Structure 1
Amino acid sequence: MTRNISERGWWHSYASFLTLTFQDFLGLEGDAELMRSWETLVPGRLQTEEYTRLLLAAGQGIVHSTREHLESRVAVRMERQRKLNRPHEIVLSEAAVLGRIGDAGAMKRQIVHLREQSDRDDINLRILPLSCGPHLGLDGAFTIFTFPDGGQLVGLEALLNSFYLEDEDSLRTYNAAFDQIRDLALDEKQSKAFLERAAHTA
């Protein structure tokens, strides 16, 4: 993690608008050979620019001190999408699709984009129905990074910072939690059909 912070990444020109922990998160993404994520919002990698801007606008004047700061974060997220091509397994809560960020048109465009992105070779996207019952993901979103040497880290994102766990107990628990959530989710084909229906009715 120290090495990632000290190295100049593609995001260096935006560094004044990014926390060190988020810069490190971007470095870890670039180093990982596989990521597995449980998400309760559409993840940054799969967001439209419109959705990103609407989402980040909630922090205007609180997290983002100026419009320039907000727009820089939008630019980072879009550039991140262009740079990142690591295999990524994502289980997404149905609530992220049924919820409303912006108006109906914005959500429809985001859902259509999700459906299109689900066809990518590097993306494995599954939807977890709200009807699935209790599961370990209710405690919050997380990402498991797996590196070429077999090492792993669990990333937890908060409002201002990201946190990482690497002890064996935490890794075992989060890997088991992801497996549980994935097993409860729709399979890839069912998830694509769900997104097509959601886009039609949005």
Structure 2
Amino acid sequence: MKKRAGNVVGGGSYISRAVFEKLARRKNMQMGIGGFFMAFYLFGIVMGLVGDDQDLRDGLVSSIVIFALFTLLFVLGARNAKKIGLVNRYNQIFMCDADGTVTMEELARQVGKPPEKVISELEWLFQKGVFCDCTLQKEGRPGVILSGRADSKTSFVNVVCEQCNGTTRLRAGTYGKCEYCGSPISSRKING
């Protein structure tokens, strides 16, 4: 079980806890209420078709209409479950990024969807406030810019290469290569 820190899920996450929990509660309510009443009205429909009770037969049309409405509620809950899965998948991708910039091409390749679909999903998620400490960049080269929080697994630091004095942005506590000369660098050698 993940520990919760501040207003995000886990100590290293770009997910807003409050918004995520609200989405999860909505999903649970929609699927629970929709599923329960779908089963209830389906039973009534079946009993109206095969049973001897005339009252059930007389209410068959209204039972079918109500069944359809609760089916719609259940489907909305299933869609929210899919969105929760998307949030977790995108967060995993963000957390694995080393330099603080995730391009749409990278995201599209990792989730197996066209970039236009990824942008559409991310626009909705950012509009709802699901992600924090990052920004959706739609201008120029589209992507997600990860800003992170100080003293967390989401923070980034600027590392000065000892070989060429070039500055490379890395996730705190990680190793990488200088983007200018390719020399190995560590984010434990911090400048800025």
What TM-score, normalized to structure 2? 0.28
The structure showing larger relative contact order (alpha-carbon pairs under 8 Å, at least 6 residues apart) is 1
More helix by share: 1
The TM-score, its normalising length taken from structure 1, stands at 0.27
- Between Structure 1 and Structure 2, whose CA radius of gyration is higher? 2
